Amino acid sequence: MSTDTINQPFSVEKTGSALGVVVEGIDLRQPVNQQQFLQLQKAWNEHHILIFKNQTLTDEQLFNFATYFGDVFHPPADVPVLASDTNGAAPAVVPVSNQAGGYTGSGELTPHIDHQWTPRPSKASFLYALEIPSQGGETSWYNLNQAWETLPAATQEKIASLTLITYNPFLRHGEPVRPRYRDPSNPPKGLFFAHPLVTTHPESGKKILFISRDTEVEIPELSLEEGQQLIEELRAHAFRDSLRYEHYWQVGDVVLWDNRSTAHARTAFPDSEIRNLHRISLAGQRPL
């Protein structure tokens, strides 16, 4: 791909699923001008994930492109996230890999929103595929704006002003069972933060049902029984195939997803094979 490819028009094609577009004709190693960035930003706000194919990047080049969209996410020192060290710091580029020094292993990851338990959840993430197993390891994204829009009006009215506490899953490591809803007899660990259950995307203005599928949560305004029932109803509604795009990775793929409007999941893959991707997450703000 020539060095002036970035200055040529690129195409955007829908995936045919509930979210996502494939961007063709762009070399992420090259600088982006203002007009091109605005085109990408518009497509991203509308479709939630951008898929770039056939890229060949160093970590520095991935970082340079990612930071057109914002600064890198750094967690609070006392709120652990994936790849946090003993001082609470996480690297800018996280190896999502089942190799030594990598994170997340080879098992299934159920639908979740990255850093949802932090005071300022990340805005977005980039994931770049370096090595891919022969089977498994697909990533799915769920459209949480459509999850909101397809709720009955009565449910929308009922939940519009509720808040949600998402408890830090990294503080439950080693426990035999991870609860999906906090029981009052099970005290929370570490710091926790309440965010709106229904958020407003700060750029598109779209309403978002801001939930993960299996992370421990609590709705402070409701009783234990009411909260549990409501959350499970919302999860059953949000994490349906009709609201999902599943990505079958190829080496050289870069996917940018909006962490404010999507949840994502991963299928398991054979531990005997290598899956190696590099992730950069971008700093967010307090959800509105």
Per-residue pLDDT tens over the stretch 70-110: 999 999 999 999 999 999 999 999 999 999 999 999 999 99
Instruction: Give the architecture (CATH level 2) of 144-238.
Output: 4-Layer Sandwich (3.60)
Contact 126, 253 (CB under 8 A): no
141 has a pLDDT exceeding 90: yes
Query: Shortest CA distance to 21 belongs to which of 11, 12, 30?
Result: 12
Distance CA 75, CA 90 (A): 7
Same CATH fold, 144-238 and 5-142+242-282?
yes
Domain range summary for the chain, segments of one domain joined by +: 5-142+242-282, 144-238
Rounded CA Rg of the chain: 19
What is the value of pTM for the model shown?
0.94
Please give the CATH number for the structural domain made up of 5-142+242-282.
3.60.130.10
SS3 call for 175: coil
Per-residue pLDDT tens over the stretch 224-263: 999 999 999 999 999 999 999 999 999 999 999 999 999 9
Contact 106, 269 (CB under 8 A): yes
